[in-house]
A and B are shown apart, each in its own frame.
Chain A
Amino acid sequence: MITFEDVSKTYGGQASGRAALAGVSLSVAPGEVFGVIGASGAGKSTLIRLINGLETPSSGKVIVDGDDVAALGVEGLRSLRRRVGMIFQHFNLLSSKTVAGNVAFPLKLAGRPDAEVRARTAELLARVGLSDFAGKYPAQLSGGQKQRVGVARALATGPKVLLCDEATSALDPETTEQILELVSGLNRELGLTIVLITHEMDVVRRVCDRVAVLEAGRVVETGPVEQVFLHPASATARRFVMEVEGPLGGVPGEAGASVDGRLVRLTFRGEATYRPILGAVARETGVDYSILGGRIHRLRETPYGQLTLSLTGGDVEAAIARFQADGVRVDLVGGAGR
């Protein structure tokens, strides 16, 4: 659906300018929720604006729904923008228009007949649960309601792609939850492809299928959310994961304690999370364990758990093999033979 081929963007001239993106390649499949996470200034905002042509690449190609965005003419770009909806951190609603007027705006821009505009507006307001607010002005709404107007407006022209530009960053946790639920629902029910940029790993964890980690204009890591989340390979990804979960679980030295035995990190996913594997393995192999750290949470619908253990006594190798046989991923985190 969306492909970036070695895309760079430099502001203020090639030679002396500041590079916002450098050699970014990635692809987003149809129907996927794709997250881009990065600190402020990492280039997220530029990246998402390249998708609907609000920015043009300095080099490389951005291909959206079969079109090379930079090669589109004025009309082609307008047509693309009707196929790509966008919601914003600060909602960007027209304060001079009512809720209904805001939702109708993209339809009027597209020159749709009045009757269609009215019917479609009513349908969209019902979808986001704001039918009773049609005649109100944005200033009379709460942040969450404003963002729901933003979503309805973005959906007006029946897009295939929804771009979310830090769409929940100005909202409180409860409202964030509601908006993420709404966006996930659109993905499930309409098969909408969603690209969202954020600086919050929690948002990625709740709604994304895959994630790209952006650092100083470069993609430093990309993959399925559970992989990046449970086994972050880059320092940047580790830092984002630690922001939501705390330290990745009891690695000695961090705590200043010296621990005997073999240190392992177990990762449970799905049903394995709820099975009493740990006790069973201990009984069967005579291994003793102490828990140094752990986390249990959900990635979208999938529960997962991650434990850092110190294994002592008994048959450690057999215990590791037994865990693996049960579908638990085992990573050695050092400390062997101490």
Chain B
Amino acid sequence: MDNIDWAEIGQATLDTLSMLGGSMILTVILGLPLGVILFLTGPGQMLRNRLANGVLSLVINILRSVPFVILLIVMIPLTVALVGTSLGVAGAIPPLVVGAAPFFARLVETALREVDKGVIEASFAMGAKRRQVVLGALLPEAMPGLIAAATVTAIALVSYTAMAGVVGAGGLGDLAIRFGYQRFQTDVMVVTVVLLLVLVQALQMVGDAVVRKVSHR
């Protein structure tokens, strides 16, 4: 364990956590409404609109098909415009969000499709407005699925942060690549990978616990 600089590992852990936290919050803020709109404009839904749904779906597919490493680089001008730098944790967050939000939006759409149509119909039959149906019935009924979608997205973001080292964002993944892989420091590699594993495992366990808590099926 000669090569291990615990202060550096501590800093990398913090970097990973702040990239994850910052990008996750923005991913939910952006991806949730996107997923809801994607669902509501879909065929047979209350705001069905073939054009809007088609365009939105296409944009999401385009963003999802760009490899994240490429996204990091092509987004540099936009990132600079948004946060003033393309480097470090701040520089990594915009590409992380642009990479994860479309993914999360698709998962949200899928979770909303699982909601029993009868419950939506019953809400309308009780005199609910569309907004009340979405906020009072659709989203609460889909909550277990939405939490599961957020868990999957957070874990995907953990692996995206490893690539963010390309723009000098730091973090555990970056440490694993630069020291563990490129300098053959196996001990650094093992420690960082174990920490990432602990992080992923913790996210999954917390996610599953919350799903159990909100699920009354």
Contacts and interface: CB of A to CB of B under 8 A. Distances in A.
A88 interface: yes
A82 B140 CA distance: 22
Interface stretch (A105-113, A117-125, A183-191): A105-113
Interface string B120-133: 01111111110010
A94 interface: yes
Contacts of B118: 88, 90, 92
Interface string A91-105: 011111100000001
B137 interface: yes
A153 interface: yes
A201 to B, nearest CB: 25
20 contacts: A52-B125, A81-B124, A82-B126, A86-B122, A90-B116, A90-B118, A93-B122, A94-B137, A94-B140, A96-B140, A96-B141, A97-B140, A109-B127, A109-B128, A109-B132, A138-B216, A139-B217, A153-B126, A157-B126, A157-B127
A109 B119 contact: no
B43 to A, nearest CB: 12
A289 interface: no
B126 A81 contact: yes
B214 interface: yes
Interface size class of B (residues with CB under 8 A): 20 to 34
A82 B126 CA distance: 6
B131 to A, nearest CB: 11
A105 B126 contact: yes
Given A92-B121, A96-B143, A96-B214, A105 B136 contact: yes
Interface string B181-217: 0000000000000000000000000000000001011
Q: Which 8 A-B pairs have the closest CB atoms?
A: A92-B122, A81-B127, A92-B118, A137-B216, A106-B126, A96-B140, A78-B127, A86-B125
A54 B126 CA distance: 11
B125 A74 contact: no
Interface of A: 52, 54, 74, 78-79, 81-82, 84, 86, 88, 90, 92-97, 105-106, 108-110, 137-139, 153, 156-157
Given A106-B126, A109-B126, A109-B127, A92 B119 contact: yes
Contacts of B123: 94, 105, 109
A84 B119 CA distance: 17
Nearest to A78: B127
Contacts of B217: 95, 139
Interface in B125-164: 125-129, 132, 136-137, 140-141, 143
